[in-house]
Structure 1
Amino acid sequence: MNRLAKVTATSGIALSLVLGSGVVAANADEAPGSAEAVFDEFVDALGVSATTDAALTQRFDRLSDAEQERLVDAIEEDPLSVLTITAGEPTLTSGTATTAEPAVARNSAPTAKRVSRSALASAKTAAVRVAGGLHVQTVASNPRYTATYPVNASLFGITTGTFTMRYVFEATSTAVSRNLECTGWFTGAAGVWSISTSQSNYVSGGLGSCTVNYRMSFAFKGSFFSANKQQQLQYKGTRLASASLKNI
């Protein structure tokens, strides 16, 4: 078993299998610190909460000296490689939506201009009578659904950050009819990660798709490590067709 697998065996699939990293090497003349000092600097760079910081430090202290050294070697080579990725199960919640058609105004008082029977019949067909006021037609759309898809990045099984996607669409039980929202964001390393996102979505043949791309940069010990990631959800009506997070 390689050095990374030994350290992260209890945490799941290594993030390095999912993320590709571009690395700018640190100064070769920089003197290495102790394993504990390097790990503390890494946790500080992650920007996690004090509670998470304490939990990570406690787990690191439980490792043997050899395990600590192997972990620190991996961190100094590429800090992203020691994180693990765990995809949650997408959840789908429902709600109803209505779309208001343009209002058709008609005053109940008589007018001097005569209205043809055909025009009057068309107005009656297109509008719902409201006594003494406006005539407004409201057409019910397909039910609205919101899908949420969290993916956690973790170390020692402790979450250090989360990629979250939200996909809102209208659908019948068998087909998506319209996309309303497709967004994604990362939380957990505030102020340290530099992350930009781009989104795309489409509906084709009743299949609705939402895709979010993350472009990330992480600074550690004078080096910059980058990773580009794509998160995607697809629904065929209310049935989940696919959910993925992959390197791009």
Structure 2
Amino acid sequence: MNETANIALGIDIGGTGIKGALVDLETGALVSDRFRLDTPRPALPAAVADTVVAVAAHFDFAGPVGVAFPGVVLDGVVHTAANLHPDWIGASLAELVGSRLSGPSVFLNDADAAGLAEARFGAAKGVSGVVLLVTLGTGIGTAMISDGQLVPNSEFGHLELDGLDAETYAAASARKRNNHTWEEWAGHAEHYLKYLEGLVWPKLFVLGGGITKNPELWLHYLKPRTPIVLATNINNAGIIGAAAAAAQTQQAG
């Protein structure tokens, strides 16, 4: 497909799969089927880069491409990679991937991509002030949006809380690992959210992650002062947000 106005390609690198789709930048809707390839094992930079390029090639698209990565990304360079191979530290996505794509590209943290998706097209659209997206899964991913603009790489999931890394205490995985009831786990999650409130005073929490498929089990236990809503782009948030970031960067250029 040739470059089309108001369309961008979003690609989301995950620990088990790398998936992509074309996104309508007016609505945030996918305008193609998702295409997915398994994440290579071991997830070395060259092998993952080849897979990302293969996903992009599937769409034969010459427009802007955004790639969401599970780690801190600054100027296209990876600084953390907890769920991939340690060889990623210091690797340049811009060189490994961007130089091989047909269109302009941008690279960002996967939680940041999810935050952008919610700010542009989802639960945080039109909200002024600070919005915190918090994904509760194996770990805790966070994204900070201020007046609709992303503040990248917040990494609030790794704050120290009661002497522990917050995600070992309040992530959804901690409930099973510690054999907690939903109410017990929710107490920890609420403690974490209240700690975030004291740091940045958000207007809204947007909660995401697989756990949000069954909010009736736990959501009623959370009562911080900040309103809580559930993310609306759970399955495709990384793809949608990556595409939005690519288009935004192209417009800025």
With normalisation by structure 1, the TM-score equals 0.24
The structure that is helix-richer by fraction is 2
